[in-house]
Structure 1
Amino acid sequence: MATINLLPWRAERRRQRERDFYTMLAAAAILAVLSWLAWGWWMDQRISDQDARNGYLSSEIKQLEGKLKEIKDLETTKAKLLARKQIIEQLQASRAQMVHLFDELVRTIPEGVRLTALKQTGNQLAMQGVAQANGDVANYMRNLDASAWMQRSDLQKTEIKGTDKRNRYEFGLTVKLRSPDQPDADAPPGSAPAKPGAAPPAPSGNPSTRAPASAAGAP
């Protein structure tokens, strides 16, 4: 019976397995290193992309901040323009109001009263003058209350000054200014506003106490 020695074959097979094992181990190590390098490169790419996004966002934020600053400047300019427009409108309205105001001052001042000073503060007009008697001052206040451009006269003072009977009483009073289309605060509800330029109703008492325009400033 023939005999076969298997030891060399087994040794050769063992060496082959060892070579295969070390080859697979080296391949696994190389694959692990390549995977680590690939992972590091991929992470670097992600970081670079994120940095690029952050830079883009920062530039856009700066542009938006610049636009917001421009919007704020425009709003400030708009507010200034609106304030100027309002002032111009008030000046235009007050220009017409001043014409009617001086006309009403001539219309309402009775005989025996002379104005010496006028001062306007907002919608309030302070007047100082002299009169022959206290009744003339009361008559003047009634005329002012009946005016379409003035209302709510308030006597501040009245006192005797000097010995001149024509200018014996010195007085001071205030009156509120208004437009004819603005309702009187003291008027009853539903009352129609007075028409511009309309003469005020005659005050109670002597109807001849109203002086003509030429005699308004006469002493």
Structure 2
Amino acid sequence: MTIEINLLPWREQRRERHSKRFHLALVAMAVVGLAGGAGMTLYYQHALDIQQQRNAHITDQSARLDRDIRSIREYEAQIERLEAQIAVFQRLQEGRPQTVHVFNQLAESLEEGVHYTQLTRQGELLSLTGLAENNRQVSDQLRALGAAPAFAVPNLSEVESDQGQDRRRFSLNVPQRMPGQPLAEEDES
């Protein structure tokens, strides 16, 4: 007696079970792969959105900072202009007493018989034109200007006789001496 075992239907069922499991595993892996890919895509998209928000915030802050820098530069330029104006006002304010002092010294040093006809000032140099009755009065006037504390050594540029009158017309330049400036500067020139 021989026993015949038919394994084919069993093998066939087993093969179908393995095929189903394989196909299920394949589908499950495909689903897991797609889900993982979609998850990674969402994660990277979310990270990209956050980075774009950061970039937009940085760009906005950078633009705001640029505006602030521009306004600060405008304020600094305005401050420089105001400081320059203040310096001019201070120089003018400081020069007021000096101008009065110069005129007082000119009046005090004026010798008898001498008249000034023109006075011009260029920087710290005064140019005087005047009339005197004789050459001695012109010399006395030069000495008086040289002795005045507001002036340095005067420089006589010309003396000529006034036509038709018995007078001398003279021109001279005298540098102003700043208050507190030593007299030694006169000896050097």
TM-score range, shorter chain: 0.7 to 0.9
1:34 counterpart letter in structure 2: A
Report the counterpart of residue 115 of structure 2 in structure 1: 114
Structure 1 residue aligned with 2:90: 89
What's the secondary structure of 1:181's corresponding residue? coil
Residue 188 to residue 162, structure 1, CA distance change in 2 (3 Å)? closer
Query: Cα deviation per residue 1:68-107 (whole Å; 9 max; x = unaligned)?
Result: 2221222223223222322222222222112211111022
- 1:196 is aligned to none
Change (3 A) 1:135 1:14: farther
Please give the alpha-carbon distance, in whole angstroms, between the structure 2 residues aligned to 1:5 and 1:152.
144
Q: Is the 8 A contact 1:113 1:136 kept in 2?
A: yes
Unmatched segments (≥5 aa) in structure 2: none
Task: Report the CA distance between 1:156 and its aligned residue.
Answer: 3.2
Q: Do the aligned partners of residues 156 and 12 (structure 1) sit closer, same or farther apart at CA in structure 2, a change above 3 Å counting?
A: farther
Aligned residues: 187
Given that 1:156 and 1:174 are in contact with CA atoms closer than 8 Å, whether structure 2 keeps it comes out as yes
CA deviation map 1:41-73 (0-9, x unaligned): 223222222221122112212221222222122
Residue identity opposite 1:14 in structure 2:
R
The list of structure 1 runs, each at least 4 consecutive aligned residues, that deviate by more than 6 angstroms after superposition, is none
- Alignment of 1:171 with 2:161, yes or no, is no
* 1:139 paired to 2:140: yes
Q: Give TM-score, length-normalised by structure 1.
A: 0.73
Counterpart residue number, 1:182: 181
More helix, by proportion: 2
Q: Give the number of the structure with larger relative contact order, counting CA–CA contacts within 8 Å between residues 6 or more apart.
A: 1
Specify whether residues 74 and 19 from structure 1 end up closer, same or farther in structure 2 by C-alpha distance, changes over 3 A only. same
Q: Percent identity?
A: 29
Contact 1:148 1:179 in 2 (8 A): no
Gaps of 5+ in 1: 190-219
Matching of residue 30 in structure 1 with residue 22 in structure 2:
no
Q: Please name the residue that 1:206 is paired with.
A: none
Which position in structure 2 is the counterpart of 1:11?
A: 12
Q: Distance in 2 between matches of 1:40 and 1:154?
A: 94
Q: Structure 2 length as normaliser, TM-score?
A: 0.83
